[in-house]
Structure 1
Amino acid sequence: MMTVRRLRRYLKPAAILTLMMAFMAGCTHNNGDIGPLFGSWTLQEIIIDGTPDEDYGHNMTWNFQNHNLSIMTVLPHHDRAENMGTWDWVETDRVMSIDFTYKNSDGVVGGSPFCPPDGLHLPTGQVLIMDVEQLTSSDMTLLYESHDGSLIKYVFTKLK
């Protein structure tokens, strides 16, 4: 027959294991499902007025979670830079706004890291309005009209 001491020896690890399993089964979406945008998107191509941007290094990933946008750029020697903003999407109008108007630790509105990365041809310190031309579970295309009238197309594929 099992003694109380032996029983405790088995129950404590079982309780810890049960708690660990409960924590690991927790949700991965903060504040609910944001639909097909949730996750990481690789920026495949930038097209300006119909011409591919030859200077784009194919090194950016956009990450959407809740209303946070993180743009990760892989730099030489596998270093990384992260730029941040917030986003909102009016699905019925197929319009996305990206907000880069936050102050950094120096008090600069739109200062690093709260600005678009170099190479995206986007202004800093503004709320940007983009048209969602295409959005499926694996592909996305965003359109932005710059202040000089250029039409910039951003073509993405979702990381699996």
Structure 2
Amino acid sequence: MMCSNIIIRRILGFFMAVALLSGACGCTRNNGDIGSIFGIWRLAGLEVDGVEADDYEYNCFWFFQNNIISFVMLDAPEDHTALRRWCTFDKEEGYLTLDLSHHGNGINDYLYSVPAFLRLPQEEAVPLKIVTDTGSKMVLTYTGAEGEVITYTLIKQ
């Protein structure tokens, strides 16, 4: 009886250690801990000067991890197909600044091109003003070259 209690305690101790180590090894390596912005966000609304964009199909998700955003557009969900685009970002002083200047040196350059419906220039520093960030909803605005204000409403999934 005494021997079985010791074995049970060791097994429980092992599982507790594994659970603690799993929690301690979260996504914090290489600045992976980016706070509430981390995760998957659905682009729930896209407006230009307060008018809903008619070319947006409500099929875009933004995946945030470390300093990278993956834009994923579900083309045909029933076929499980998607288009992915990538960029890096920096979040500070009320802005989410996208670096859209990356390229694949002639190989798969399209992976770094911004989806046209987002109406963003292919530039190094594209500032999106953070209007709202509650951790579950984020509203961003961008003022285009001709003065148009583009509003992006993101909902955390």
Shared fold, TM over 0.5? yes
Structure 1: which 5+ runs fail to align?
A: 1-13
Secondary structure of the corresponding residue to residue 64 of structure 2:
strand
Shift of 1:126: 3.6
Query: Please, what TM-score do these two structures have when normalized by structure 2?
Result: 0.78
Match of 1:83 in 2: 85
Q: CA distance change for structure 1 residues 32 and 75 in 2, over 3 Å: closer, same or farther?
A: closer
SS at match of 2:90: strand
Report if the CA contact (8 A) 1:36-1:137 is conserved: yes
Q: How far is 1:96 from its partner? A: 1.4
Shift of 1:23: 7.5
> What is the identity, as a one-letter code, of the residue corresponding to 1:84?
W
Whether contact under 8 Å (1:29, 1:65) holds in the other structure is no
Deviations 1:116-158 (A, max 9, x none): 1121111224421110000011000000011111100000100
Secondary structure of the residue aligned to 2:36 is helix
Q: Give 2:56's aligned amino acid.
A: Y
- TM-aligned CA deviation for residue 20 of structure 1: 7.7
How far has the Cα of 1:32 moved from its partner? Answer: 4.7
* Greater fraction helix: 2
Q: Distance in 1 between matches of 2:82 and 2:27?
A: 24
* 1:119 match: secondary structure: helix
Change (3 A) 1:138 1:21: closer
Partner letter of residue 27 of structure 1?
G
Tell me whether 1:58 sits opposite 2:53 in the alignment.
no
Gaps of 5+ in 2: 1-10
Are 1:140 and 2:142 matched, yes or no? no
Give the C-alpha shift of residue 107 in structure 1. Answer: 6.6
Q: Tell me how far apart the structure 2 counterparts of residues 86 and 28 of structure 1 sit (CA, whole Å).
A: 17
Aligned partners of 1:115 and 1:125 also within 8 Å: no
- RMSD, aligned α-carbons: 2.3
Letter in 2 for 1:115: S
- Residue 71 (structure 1) aligned with residue 67 (structure 2): no
The CA distance in 2 between the partners of 1:42 and 1:22, in whole Å, is 32
CA 1:129 to 1:153, structure 2 compared with 1: closer, same or farther past 3 Å? Answer: same
**Residue 47 of structure 2: SS of its match in structure 1?**
strand
Give, as a single letter, the amino acid of the residue that structure 1 aligns with 2:41.
W
Match of 2:26 in 1: 27
Identity of aligned residues (%): 26
Structure 1 stretches of 4+ moved >4 Å: 17-25
- Once residues 36 and 69 of structure 2 are traced to their aligned partners in structure 1, the CA distance between those partners, rounded to angstroms, is 14
Distance apart, 1:22 and its partner CA: 7.8
Q: TM-score scaled by structure 1?
A: 0.77
The amino acid that maps onto 1:47 is E
Report the Cα distance in structure 1 between the residues aligned to 2:21 and 2:115, rounded to whole angstroms: 35
What is the aligned partner in structure 1 of residue 147 from structure 2?
149
State the one-letter code of the partner of 1:34: I
